[in-house]
């Protein structure tokens, strides 16, 4: 059968947008970034990855997939090796994370924090001048009280003995799953700041993006484990949850040259939820998150 498209679009061989995680928001980001860049999608779930690649290709995107468990240093090393043979990375959108459904705080910490560190190490050598890395954090990152000792441990999750050190700074008490989520997301915001400083000399920008309540599978399924989630929606100044399209559009803007001097900051995409929590004294370990 003759291919309908006989000539490759000029951008098909340009540096890729590397999307980590092809869940709901991951796919939204792929669709937004795929309008300007060829896509390389990474996920641990091979079937989901195959479906995502097929769907995006049928929609007209230039896309390939790479199966990888981002918590496994051997696998992220292999990802780095694959990237080094390609056209370079123009955008890194690190979206993959898990919520309380995972039921294991160590595994959650591994996926939400160790994974982004390993992926950053793997992708950095292939990032081209003008590239941008956007780490998807969460409004939850603003909910825990700052603690210098805990932050210092969370800043270096690849250090041997990380989990023991975590337990030590937490006084030997295992963190709850919501606490673990918030710690991992706070640490991700800090990681983006540190990488922005370290990678600036390569003209690579690094930012984090913190969604509030989004209407996604994760929001619905993990949110169902958070008491009073529905009541919290009415506290959002805009009176509703955000959509995948709204969060992905901001990520694509931050990744684009239109944001070429925006670097090392966190950008909340939360309909004003953070502002309300600030006004009510709920941020940084104040009253229970609203
Ligand atoms: N939905 C909300 O209300 C909300 C609010 C704040 C922040 N966020 C953040 O937005 C992002 C949500 O992304 P989503 O909607 O695409 O989530 P999702 O749950 O739909 O998808 C997550 C993807 O990550 C993949 N993944 C899990 N473990 C992995 C591993 N070890 N290696 C590689 N891939 C792995 C999964 O297979 C899945 O495809 C997360 O970072 C989340 O913390 C969401």
Where is average pLDDT lowest: 145-159, 185-199, 230-244? Answer: 230-244
- Res 216: pLDDT: 87
For residue 4, tell me if it sits in a domain: no
Answer whether residue 221 is part of any domain: yes
d(CA 85, CA 82): 5
Task: Identify the residue whose C-alpha is closest to ligand 1 atom 7.
Answer: 138
Share of the chain above pLDDT 70, in %: 94
CATH code at position 179: 3.40.50.720
Number of domains the chain is built from: 1
Asked if the model's pLDDT at residue 163 lies above 50, the reply is: yes
Record the tokens describing residue 169, joined without a space: 């700074």
Q: Considering only CA atoms, which of 154, 288, 183 is closest in space to residue 226? A: 288
The yes-or-no verdict on residue 52 having pLDDT over 50 is yes
Separation of alpha carbons 193 and 206, rounded Å: 7
Calculate how far, in angstroms, residue 96's C-alpha sits from the geometric centre of ligand 1: 4
Q: Is 216 in the pocket of ligand 1 (CB under 6 A)?
A: yes
Assess if residue 286 is contained within a domain: no
CA distance 261 to 47: 38
Lowest model confidence (mean pLDDT) among 1-5, 11-15, 263-267: 1-5
Q: Is residue 281 part of a domain?
A: no
Query: What's residue 227's pLDDT?
Result: 67
Q: How many helices (H) and strands (E) does the chain have?
A: 12, 7
Report whether 270 contacts 282 (CB < 8 A). Answer: no
Could you tell me how far CA 18 lies from the centroid of its own chain? Answer: 12
Is 2 within a domain? no
Q: Whose CA is nearest to atom 1 of ligand 1?
A: 219
User: Is 79 a domain residue?
Assistant: yes
Quick one: pLDDT band at residue 8, thresholds 50, 70, 90?
confident
pLDDT in tens, 229-281: 777 888 899 999 999 999 999 999 999 999 999 999 999 999 999 999 999 88
Q: Quote the tokens at residue 45.
A: 């779930």
**pLDDT score of 15 more than 60:** yes
User: Is 170 within the bounds of a domain?
Assistant: yes
Range of the domain at 176: 10-276
- List, for residues 123-142, the tens digit of each pLDDT value: 999 999 999 999 999 999 99
For ligand 1, pick from 216, 226, 269, 271 the residue to mutate: most ligand atoms within 8 Å of CB. Answer: 216
Q: What's the predicted TM-score (pTM) here?
A: 0.95
pLDDT of residue 289: 45
CA distance linking residue 43 with residue 22, whole number of Å: 6
Q: How far is CA 95 from CA 42, 112, 220, 228, in A?
A: 10, 9, 17, 25
The yes-or-no verdict on residue 176 having pLDDT over 70 is yes
Compute, in angstroms, the gap from residue 198 CA to the centroid of ligand 1. 26
Give a yes or no: residue 285 inside a domain. no
């Amino acid at each position: 059968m003759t291919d309908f498209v006989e000539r490759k679009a000029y951008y098909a061989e340009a540096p890729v947008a590397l999307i980590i995680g092809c869940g709901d928001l991951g796919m939204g980001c792929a669709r937004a970034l795929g309008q300007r860049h060829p896509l390389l999608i990474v996920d641990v779930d091979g079937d989901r990855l195959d479906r995502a690649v097929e769907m995006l290709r049928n929609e007209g995107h230039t896309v390939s997939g790479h199966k990888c468990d981002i918590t496994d240093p051997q696998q992220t090393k292999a990802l780095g090796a694959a990237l080094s043979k390609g056209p370079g990375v123009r955008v890194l959108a690190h979206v993959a994370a898990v919520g309380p459904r995972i039921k294991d705080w160590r595994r959650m910490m591994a996926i939400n924090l160790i994974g982004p560190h390993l992926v950053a190490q793997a992708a950095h050598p292939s990032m081209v001048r003008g590239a941008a890395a956007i780490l998807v954090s969460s409004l939850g990152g603003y909910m825990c009280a700052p603690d210098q000792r805990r932050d210092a441990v969370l800043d270096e999750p690849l250090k041997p003995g990380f989990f023991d050190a975590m337990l030590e700074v937490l006084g030997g008490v295992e963190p709850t799953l919501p606490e673990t989520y918030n710690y991992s997301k706070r640490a991700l915001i800090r990681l983006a700041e540190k990488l922005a400083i370290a990678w600036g000399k390569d003209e690579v920008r690094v930012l984090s993006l913190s969604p509030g309540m989004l209407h996604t599978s994760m929001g619905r399924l993990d949110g169902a484990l958070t008491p009073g989630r529905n009541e919290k929606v009415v506290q959002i100044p805009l009176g509703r949850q955000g959509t995948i399209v709204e969060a992905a559009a901001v990520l694509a803007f931050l990744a684009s040259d239109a944001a070429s001097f925006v670097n090392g900051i966190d950008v909340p995409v939360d309909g004003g939820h953070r502002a309300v929590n600030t006004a009510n004294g709920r941020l940084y370990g104040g009253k229970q998150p609203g």
